Amino acid sequence: MTTYSERLSEFVAQLKVEQIPAATAEHAELHALDVLGCGIAAHAFGEAAYALRAVRETGGSGPATAIGGRDLAPGDAAFVTGTLCHALDLDDTHPNSVVHVSAGVVPAAVTAARAADASGADLLAAIVAGNEVSIRVGNAAGGKFHARGFHPTGVCGVFGATAAASRARGLDAVRTTHALGIAGSMASGLLEFLADGSETKRLHPGWAARAGLTAAALAAHGATGPSTVFEGARGFFATYMHGEETDLEGQLADLGSHWVTDEIAYKPYAACHYTHAPVDALAEILATTPLRAADIESITGYTDATGVGLVCEPAADKVHPRTPYDAKFSLPYCLATRLVTGTLDVASFTPEAVADPEVAALTPRITYELRQYNPTPDAFGGGVRVETVDGRVFENELRWQRGGAENPLSTDEILAKFRTNAGYGLPSGHVAALEQSTLALPSVRDLSYLDALAAATTRK
């Protein structure tokens, strides 16, 4: 019998752009554009600048480009771009697997495809292959990775990045199986950054992208990896999910006929996805009943068990976030900022914004309530209850957050987000060229247009 890795590898190696439904191809192109825009904006705002500096010191030179950098070794380029794409926490997420899919897959696919002198069609196939693998591996355990302290974007994303790199460089199914087996020993990413607001989380998709290129290269040159990396007694699920029920078999049953790429959710806010539905629920209340901080007796945010662990507890830390990155995982901060300032955008997560005294005065009045939202592949449900000092009560819930399949952003909204983000760091001509070519990948023969990413600059 074939193993799970062999089944995935056969799909990855054989995937042609002609097999991908038009809607899925469009989703993949838009998500690629979106995540690159997020990375360009992060570079423009000076986020994660240490990634490029570190690889300049420790790495070698090469032909590859990254966002804001050129003349890099391919693995270094993938690491820098992947780290930047996730640095603002504005990149997409697949709700059920809770994987930030594109931040790991797209940098690996772009870097590997460029190094292999691949076509746009091959790049698109690589991105879709990587998406499908990342999500299905994550779906097999759902939110259970979080409960065990693992970040799915790193530990599951490494398999998607490896699939993308393997497809981009044209590995056959046997070599792709070895690459996935090798990747299992590179799966990493801990959630301990939540303890003090440090920035290791943004490194996880960058490391996954680098590991994906490395695993594919090792396999291409004859290294072997276990074909039972997923189901083995000492394999990925047995060790990372020890004692927990998982179902990769169910996830592979419709591989190639159902496309989970279509389920990836966009993020309108540069904060943890579990803050989004409560923030939008509050925004809907404020649209009809303008309220000031002085009017508020209390606000209660609603989220599920995974959301509680990410954005509500420990309560004392969430009420007073210690760093800008910490604030991205604070439901009290996000709700207070939306009420006090009228917005929640990239500028809401700067040292100056986090120190806003009016926001800090409101956060102690914000608590949470655990709600059970039936999980679906396209939802981060949430809501709020607002109680005013004069006794009024307002309550609102969103079953589906904005940006998911049930409450989607329009194509125009996605493109507007990209243009704004990319415009922070690139001239308008480069922004337009990136958009035009990425949205027409099947017909693009030369991927040199991606070298424009290296021209991204930091805002003065």
CA 412 from chain centre, in angstroms, equals 21
Asked if residue 84 has pLDDT above 70, the reply is yes
Asked if residue 378 has pLDDT above 60, the reply is no
Q: Where is pLDDT greater, at 444 or 460?
A: 444
Say how many C-beta atoms besides its own lie within 10 A of residue 394's C-beta: 18
* CA distance to 195, 350, 371, 414, per residue, from 399 (Å): 29, 30, 11, 21
How confident is the model over 72-89, as a mean pLDDT?
98
Given pLDDT bands bounded at 50, 70 and 90, which one contains residue 174?
A: very high
Taking each helix axis as running N to C, give the angle between helix 173-183 and helix 157-168, from 0 to 180 degrees, rounded to the nearest 10.
Answer: 150
Model confidence pLDDT, tens digit, residues 158-169: 999 999 999 999
Per DSSP, the residues of 129-170 read HHHHHHHHHHHTTTTHHHHTTB-HHHHTHHHHHHHHHHHHTT
- Dist CA 33 CA 102 (whole Å): 10
Exposed/middle/buried for residue 345 (C-beta within 10 Å: 0-12, 13-18, 19+): middle
Model confidence pLDDT, tens digit, residues 85-111: 999 999 999 989 999 999 999 999 999
Contact 218, 168 (CB under 8 A): no
pLDDT of residue 1: 79
Model confidence pLDDT, tens digit, residues 312-345: 999 999 999 999 999 999 999 999 999 999 999 9
- Phi, psi values for residue 257, rounded to 5°: -115, -30
Model confidence pLDDT, tens digit, residues 244-269: 999 999 999 999 999 999 999 999 99
Given pLDDT bands bounded at 50, 70 and 90, which one contains residue 379?
A: confident
- Dist CA 379 CA 96 (whole Å): 8
CA-closest candidate to residue 354, choices 311, 320, 313, 310: 320
Among the ranges given (50-59, 112-121, 366-375), the one the predictor scored with the smallest mean pLDDT: 366-375
pLDDT of residue 376: 64
Asked if residue 374 has pLDDT above 80, the reply is no
Say how many C-beta atoms besides its own lie within 10 A of residue 332's C-beta: 26
Question: Is the CA virtual torsion 184, 51, 77, 417 positive or negative?
Answer: positive
Q: Where are the domains of the chain?
A: 4-266+410-455, 273-398
- Dist CA 17 CA 70 (whole Å): 29
CATH class of 4-266+410-455: mainly alpha
- Dist CA 7 CA 231 (whole Å): 12
Stated as kind and residue range, the H or E segment containing 284 is helix 276-288
Say how many C-beta atoms besides its own lie within 10 A of residue 355's C-beta: 10
- Dist CA 149 CA 265 (whole Å): 23
- Dist CA 218 CA 207 (whole Å): 16
* CA distance to 64, 97, 241, 244, 329, per residue, from 144 (Å): 36, 9, 8, 8, 19
Task: Quote the CATH superfamily of domain 273-398.
Answer: 2-methylcitrate dehydratase PrpD (3.30.1330.120)
- Dist CA 346 CA 45 (whole Å): 9
